[in-house]
Amino acid sequence: MKRKITLKDIAKELDVSISTVSKSLKNNPEIGEDTRQKVQAFAKLYNYKPNNIAVSLLNQRTKHIALIIPEITHDFFTTVLKGVEEVAHHKGYNVLVCVSNESFEKEVLSIEMFAQGGIVDGFIISLSKETQLKEDYKHLIEVENQGMPLVMIDRVTDKVISDKVIVDDMRGAYTGVSHFIERGCRRIALITTQDHISVGYLRKEGYKKALADHVLPVEEQLMVAIDQVDTAEDQIADLVNNQEFDAVLGVNEYFSVIAMKLLQEQGKRIPQDVAIIGFSDGKLLKYATPSITAVDQHGDEIGRAAAGMLIERLESSKQDENYRTTVIPTSLIERESTLGKQD
Amino acid sequence: MKRKITLKDIAKELDVSISTVSKSLKNNPEIGEDTRQKVQAFAKLYNYKPNNIAVSLLNQRTKHIALIIPEITHDFFTTVLKGVEEVAHHKGYNVLVCVSNESFEKEVLSIEMFAQGGIVDGFIISLSKETQLKEDYKHLIEVENQGMPLVMIDRVTDKVISDKVIVDDMRGAYTGVSHFIERGCRRIALITTQDHISVGYLRKEGYKKALADHVLPVEEQLMVAIDQVDTAEDQIADLVNNQEFDAVLGVNEYFSVIAMKLLQEQGKRIPQDVAIIGFSDGKLLKYATPSITAVDQHGDEIGRAAAGMLIERLESSKQDENYRTTVIPTSLIERESTLGKQD
DNA sequence: TTGTATGCGTTATCAA
DNA sequence: TTGATAACGCATACAA
C-alpha cells in the first residue's frame, strides 16, 4: 500500500526545498528550467497530486456543493441531480447529495452540518413539503447570513431572498389545459397537491386561468388536492367514481398514472373518453399504455442552470446583491393520451 | 455576513490559550471545571463547530465516501443511493455521487480525482457497461493499492479482489422462470443484455437452469440479447413478431415494459396469453397496466449493506484481508402480469 | 490546571 | 534562482 506522495517527499528525494517543488509544479517562472523539468518529471513518475484537503484549508473553500432534494424516487429530481453533477464536475466541483425525505428536521440538520463544518461552499435546495407547510426558513436565512451562496430550485419561497431556478409551473398547466380544450375537452379535472406546496398551487392557478380564458367554468368538484401519498389512490378513485369529466391533468407522474389506471378499470378509453396529461419528464408517463402526454419540466436544465448560477456566485469576488430568478419554460410532449379527439 | 468562529477567536475572546479551548470543548478533565464551563458556554453561544477541513487534514480522513453509479435514471440505482446515503449519514459520513453514464473514461477520471486528491476515504462502485466490456480494471486496483477501501456492488468482477454486495441474480431469474412454469407457461422468452454485463449473464444462466431443472428445452430463438439501448425496441419487436411464447422475462424494467407494450399492440392479453416478469424494484413495473410481477433486487438494502461494509472497513484499524461478498436475495413481487393462468 | 510547540500539506511572501 | 517561514484550524505531546 503506497502512501500518497507529498511535496515534502519530492523535496527530500530531489534534495530541494518544498517551495521549490511547489513552484516548479505550478510552472512558476521563478524556478530554473532544469529544476522545473526535474521536479515535474519526478512528480509525474510518482503520480503526484496536490492534497485537496490542504488546499481547501488554505483557500477556505472545498469546491464541494450540496444538493438537497426532498425525494429521489421522483424522476424529476433524479434528472436535476444529473444536470447539477454535469455542470459541477465540468467546473471542478463535487456534489454532495442529501435526500431530506420531505422532512423538515432532516433538511435542517443536513444544512447545518454542511454549513457549519465548512463541508461545502454552497447549496442547491428544493424545499421539503414539511418545510413549506411550516414556513420556517430560518436555516436557509442562516446559511445566507454566513455568506454561503444558496440557489433554490423548483419548490421555492418568497420568504428567502436568493438565486432561484424555477419551472414555469403556471404556464405549464395553462398549456396543458389549453391543449385539452383545443382537442374538444370541456370538463377538465385537476389532481393537485395541497396549496402550501408552491408548485402545486401555481399549477392550479394556471389551470384556472386557462379555463377562465376559454370561458369555461372552474368547478370545485373537479379539483382534488391530495393530502398524503398514501391517500392518493382513494382520493383519485373518489374523483373518478363520482364525477364526469373528459380530461384530467395531474401535477405529477403518479397522480396521472393512477388516474389512468382507475379510469381504465372503469372501462373508459384513453384518450377517446378521457384525455390525460401529467407533469414531469419521467419514464412513468413515457412508458405507460397508452403513453401519457407530459408537461416536461426539464429537470436536467434546471440542475444545470442552478449549478451554473451557484458556481458563478462562488467564483465571482464581487458581493453582488442582485439575486436572479431563472424560469425554465416547460414544453408539452404530446403522446397517445391526448390524441384522437381531434386528430 | 458572520465569519465562522474558530478556536482562536474563542481563545482570544476569553483570554486563554487555544489548547485550553480545544480541551475544554472535548471535556478533557485536565481542564478546570469553571474554565471548561466558561468556554463551553461561549462556544455554544457563538455556535462554534470545528472546521471539518482542518480536522480532515489532521486525521487524514475526510469522512466522505464516493458512490459511483453507471446511471441515475434506473430506479435500482436510485434506491441504492438512498440506502447508501441513509447509512452514511447515520454514521457521520457524507456521500459524493458520480454518474459514470456507462462510460469507462468518466469512471476512471472520477475515481482518479476522488482518490488522488484525498477527497474521499473510500468507494462504492457499480461498473459501467464499457468497463465491463473492456475488462480494464486498473483504476480500481490502483485504488486498492493506495489503501483505499472499495466496495463493488451489483455489476462486479472477479478480476478485482474487494468487498462486494451483489444481487442473487441467478436465483432471481431462476425463481421468476419457475414461477412462470408453475403457472403453466412452457415457452418462456428471455430479454437480456450482452454477456459481458455480469448481471445479464448471470440472469441468463438462472433462466437456463430453471428450464433445465423443469425438463424444458432452452431455445436460442427465444433469447434475445439487447445490443444497445436504442436498438432495444426493434430487437424486442423482432422477438414478439417472429416467435411464439407464453411468458417473457426481462432483465430490467425497460425491456419488460417495452415487451408488454408491443405484445398488447399485437392484441395479446396479459397475462392470459403471455405472462410477464421484469427485474428491478422500480415504479415502471408497479404502475404499468396491468402491473408487472417483479424480481425485487432490494436496491436500498444493497446500498445500506455496501455503506455498512465500507464504513466498517474504514473504521477498523486492523488490515483485514478477508474480503467478503454479501449476497442480497431477491424476492418476487407478484402482480397482475402473472396472475390468472392458475389462479 | 494551563500554555507552548509541532504537525497535517499546501501556497505565498519575503529573504537570501 | 532558490529557500525559509508563516498561515489555514485543529489536536496533542509535552513543558510549565
Per the structure, the complete domain to which residue A197 belongs is given by 169-296+332-339
Chain A, 50-69: which CBs lie within 7 Å of strand C?
50-51, 53-55, 57-58
- Residue B273 C-alpha, separation from nearest chain A C-alpha, in angstroms: 18
- Measured distance CA(B75)–CA(B60) in Å, rounded: 35
Q: How many CB atoms lie within 10 A of CB B228?
A: 10
Are the beta carbons of B185 and B246 closer than 8 angstroms? Answer: yes
Same domain flag for B163 and B248: no
Same domain flag for B288 and B304: no
Residue A227 neighbours by CB under 8 Å, 6+ apart: A194, A235
Q: Which residues in chain B are contacts of A50 at CB distance < 8 A? A: 117
Q: Please state the rounded mean pLDDT for residues B253-268.
A: 96
B211 grid coordinates: 428450464
Determine the residue among B287, B304, B320 to mutate to test chain A binding: the one whose Cβ has the most chain A Cβ atoms within 10 Å: B287
Same domain flag for A174 and A69: no
Structural domain total, chain A: 3
- Measured distance CA(A259)–CA(A268) in Å, rounded: 11
Indicate yes or no: strand D within 7 A of the C-beta of A35.
yes
Amino acid letter for position B178? S
Same domain flag for A197 and A279: yes
Indicate yes or no: strand D within 7 A of the C-beta of B26.
yes
CA A42 – C1' C5 distance (Å)? 33
Indicate yes or no: strand C within 7 A of the C-beta of A217.
no
Residue A2 and residue B145: Cβ atoms within 8 Å?
Answer: yes
Residue B49 and residue A283: Cβ atoms within 8 Å?
Answer: no
Are the beta carbons of B192 and B251 closer than 8 angstroms? Answer: yes
Same domain flag for B157 and B173: no
Chain B, 64-83: which CBs lie within 7 Å of strand C?
none
Residue A117 and residue B52: Cβ atoms within 8 Å?
Answer: yes
Residue A287 and residue B288: Cβ atoms within 8 Å?
Answer: yes
Q: Which residues in chain A are contacts of B94 at CB distance < 8 A? A: 96, 114, 119
Indicate yes or no: strand D within 7 A of the C-beta of A16.
yes
Same domain flag for B86 and B144: yes
Indicate yes or no: strand D within 7 A of the C-beta of A31.
yes
Q: Which residues in chain A are contacts of B65 at CB distance < 8 A? A: none
Q: In tens digits, what is the pLDDT along chain A, a chain of 343 residues?
A: 567 899 999 999 999 999 999 999 999 988 989 999 999 999 999 999 999 999 999 999 999 999 999 999 899 999 999 999 999 999 999 999 999 999 999 999 999 999 988 999 999 999 999 999 999 999 999 999 888 999 999 999 999 999 999 999 999 999 999 999 999 999 999 999 999 999 999 999 999 999 999 999 999 999 999 998 899 999 999 999 999 999 999 999 999 999 999 999 999 999 999 999 999 989 999 999 999 999 999 999 999 999 999 999 999 866 677 899 999 999 999 999 998 644 4
> What is the nearest nucleotide to B11, using C1' and CA?
C3
Same domain flag for A91 and A240: no
- Taking alpha carbons only, the member of B243, B239, B253, B247 closest to residue B275 is B247
Q: What is the pLDDT of residue A308?
A: 98
Residue nearest to nucleotide D6 (CA to C1'): A58
CA B19 – C1' C2 distance (Å)? 9
Omega prior to A271 cis, within 30 of 0: yes
Q: What is the pLDDT of residue A342?
A: 44
Tell me, yes or no, whether A1 lies in a domain: no
Q: Which residues in chain B are contacts of A98 at CB distance < 8 A? A: 85, 89
Tell me, yes or no, whether B256 lies in a domain: yes
CA B38 – C1' D12 distance (Å)? 22
Indicate yes or no: strand D within 7 A of the C-beta of B7.
yes
Tell me, yes or no, whether B108 lies in a domain: yes
Tell me, yes or no, whether A128 lies in a domain: yes
Tell me, yes or no, whether B59 lies in a domain: no
Residue B258 and residue A89: Cβ atoms within 8 Å?
Answer: no
Three-state SS string across A231-291, please?
A: HHHHHHHHHHHHCCCCEEEECCHHHHHHHHHHHHHCCCCCCCCCEEEEECCCHHHHCCCCC
| A184: CATH | 3.40.50.2300
CA B32 – C1' C1 distance (Å)? 6
Name the packing angle between helices A75-90 and A299-315 (round to 10°). 40
Amino acid letter for position A104? F
Indicate yes or no: strand C within 7 A of the C-beta of B182.
no
Same domain flag for A309 and A162: yes
Same domain flag for A89 and A74: yes
B157-192 pLDDT tens trace: 999 999 999 999 999 999 999 999 999 999 999 999
Omega prior to A50 cis, within 30 of 0: no
Same domain flag for B155 and B218: no
CA A57 – C1' D10 distance (Å)? 11
B115 grid coordinates: 482518490
Are the beta carbons of B294 and B279 closer than 8 angstroms? Answer: yes
Determine the residue among B52, B313, B319, B321 to mutate to test chain A binding: the one whose Cβ has the most chain A Cβ atoms within 10 Å: B52
Tell me, yes or no, whether A13 lies in a domain: yes
Tell me, yes or no, whether B151 lies in a domain: yes
- Residue A147 C-alpha, separation from nearest chain B C-alpha, in angstroms: 5
Q: Which residues in chain B are contacts of A110 at CB distance < 8 A? A: 89
Q: Please state the rounded mean pLDDT for residues B312-316.
A: 92
B8-23 pLDDT tens trace: 999 999 999 999 999 9
Q: Please state the rounded mean pLDDT for residues B42-65.
A: 94
Q: What is the pLDDT of residue B1?
A: 55
Amino acid letter for position A313? R
Same domain flag for B177 and B320: no
Residue A260: closest C-alpha in chain B:
B289
Closest CB to A118: pick one of B52, B75, B79.
B52
Indicate yes or no: strand D within 7 A of the C-beta of A87.
no
**String of DSSP letters for B121-182:** SEEEE---HHHHHHT--HHHHHHHHTT--EEEESS--TTS-SEEEEE-HHHHHHHHHHHHHH
- Residue A209 C-alpha, separation from nearest chain B C-alpha, in angstroms: 31
> What is the nearest nucleotide to A30, using C1' and CA?
D1
Same domain flag for B283 and B173: yes
Q: Which residues in chain B are contacts of A138 at CB distance < 8 A? A: none
> What is the nearest nucleotide to A8, using C1' and CA?
C9
Closest CB to A73: pick one of B78, B110, B288.
B78
B209-258 pLDDT tens trace: 999 999 999 999 999 999 988 999 999 999 999 999 999 999 999 999 99
Tell me, yes or no, whether B58 lies in a domain: no
Q: What is the pLDDT of residue A343?
A: 46
